[in-house]
Structure 1
Amino acid sequence: MDWASLAGLLLAVAGILSGQFLEGGHMDSLVQPAAFVIVVVGTIGAVLLQSGSVNFVRGIAMARWIFFPPEDKSRTLVQDITMWSTTARREGLLSLERFLDDVKDDFTAKGLRMIIDGIDPYKIREILEVDISTYERRERHGAKVWEAAGGYSPTIGILGAVLGLIHVMENLTDPGKLGGGIAVAFVATIYGVGLANLVFLPVANKLKTLISDEVRRREMLTDVFCSVANGDNARVVEERRLAYK
């Protein structure tokens, strides 16, 4: 659990609500179902139109990384790399086959399998780099779902404000309906701007950071696999790994 992300979200919301309270406002004034429907449903529709169903579903699924990011296995990975390079140097590349059953990551297993099969290091790098590029493109399309939501929601909030003002103008002769229309107008803008800057854009940026970290890990593994396939000394392999710190 990433407690910092949870704390950040709660702190941001608490700051807005506290400001509303200190200014003498009421929480009820911020609860406007019509404004919520306009902003949230409108934003979802615009994002779905841009991203397509596959990327949209992937982006929603990736949201769990905000509070439950992928497990950091860097310490275990350091031990594994040292073991692979030492074993390959002493016993040959085929000796790495006994480690395959313990590898849960598909990318790592793919690299080890190519080393064991005796594939040329340049071919290993070429294949793994294509794999990395495909992974990065796919995951970034998912992250862009949230980035797109951050771009559309403020504008849709403005549309909600305009709709609210239209409602006000239509009921100028009925003072009882003016307050509700004005409330929808301003609250829609708050929802649009607030969701964009407190949720959508922070989520998008964090996902992009997590994707970049994983891409860097895979690039490091690619260098390590090519070095092991070349029969480099364990110290050389370690220096390649350290270069990615």
Structure 2
Amino acid sequence: MDLASVIGYLMCFVLIIISIMLSAGPTGIKSFIDAPSMLITIGGSFMVVFASNTIESFIAGLKILPVYMKAPASDTASIIKQIVELSNAARKEGLLALEGTAREMEDKFMQKGLLLVVDGTEPEMVKSVMEAEIDTIDARHKERIQVFEDLAAQGPAWGMIGTLIGLILMLKNMSDPSSIGPSMAVALITTMYGSMLANWVCFPVSTKMKKRNDAEITLKGIIVEGLMSIQAGENPRTTEEKLKSFLSPQQRDAYEAENGSGSAGGE
């Protein structure tokens, strides 16, 4: 579980509740709950985005919410270590010796690339196939993230639509001056719901998933670079140093502390 995502969501909710209670007391929370406003703002936002997508792409987009709550599984340092081990094995036993290892891999992307290498596919073709798959993955992820970006854009707009509806109804019923204040308050609740939908729910999801997508695309680029080095028969130590250049200084220090500054064999 991604603690930053969970804690961030919960603390936003807690801070809002505390602020309301400090200003209006425990009973003041009821003033911010209005079912018609929720229907207009949340329902309107979701239905417009639904209408802007196919059913499949809309559902696929919503499915990234539980993914957002989970910590990313991929570890760049462990991938580099695995590639270096493959490079050592290929250098000592030949590329064909990697076939058994490739078929047992959990990472389907690396498995596909390594099997292409073992099968003797031309390097240019291997790189072309792998980069095409990276582009496809990137496009698919961006399409799903776009659902939450669209929801973030529609939330405030439908909040304003709800406010306008509330103001129109209020202005058509001006016979009772005492009702103007409460009616205005209800009209403004939709604006609050729209802002909360955009900034509390959708913005964190789209922003974090963009960063995760960028990290995944970079990681797959590292895999391609490593496989190309293995196929070219480069020295494992050279391969390791090349791949370590993708790590941040902190990640590089941690990698070297765990594996040594020159863990690859150089025979």
Query: TM-score higher than 0.5 here?
Result: yes
Say whether residues 1:208 and 2:210 are aligned partners: yes
| Contact 1:34–1:184, Cα closer than 8 Å, also in 2 | no
| Contact 1:147–1:200, Cα closer than 8 Å, also in 2 | yes
| Contact 2:58–2:147, Cα closer than 8 Å, also in 1 | yes
Give the match for residue 93 of structure 1.
95
Which deviates the most, 174-183 or 198-207? 174-183
Separation in 1, partners of 2:40, 2:242 = 52
- Give 1:37 deviation, angstroms: 0.7
- Give 1:87 deviation, angstroms: 0.7
| Contact 2:102–2:114, Cα closer than 8 Å, also in 1 | yes
Cα deviation digits, residues 154-186 of structure 1 (max 9, x gap): 010000001111121222225686566333311
Give the match for residue 5 of structure 1.
5
Rate the CA distance shift 1:145–1:61 in 2: closer, same or farther, 3 A: same
Aligned with 2:53: secondary structure? helix
Give the match for residue 82 of structure 1.
84
Cα deviation digits, residues 53-106 of structure 1 (max 9, x gap): 222111111111221133133343233212110011111111110112321122
Give the match for residue 192 of structure 2.
190
Separation in 1, partners of 2:177, 2:106 = 66
Give the match for residue 16 of structure 2.
16
- Map 1:4-83 to 2 at 5 A: 4-24=4-24, 26-83=28-85
The normalised TM-score by structure 1 is 0.94
2:130 to 116, 128, 139: 128
Residue identity opposite 2:137 in structure 1: Y
2:121 to 112, 119, 132: 119
Separation in 1, partners of 2:228, 2:196 = 48
Separation in 2, partners of 1:170, 1:140 = 45
Separation in 1, partners of 2:196, 2:43 = 15
- Give 1:134 deviation, angstroms: 0.7
Cα RMSD (Å) of the superposition? 1.7
Gaps of 5+ in 2: 248-267
Separation in 1, partners of 2:239, 2:36 = 60
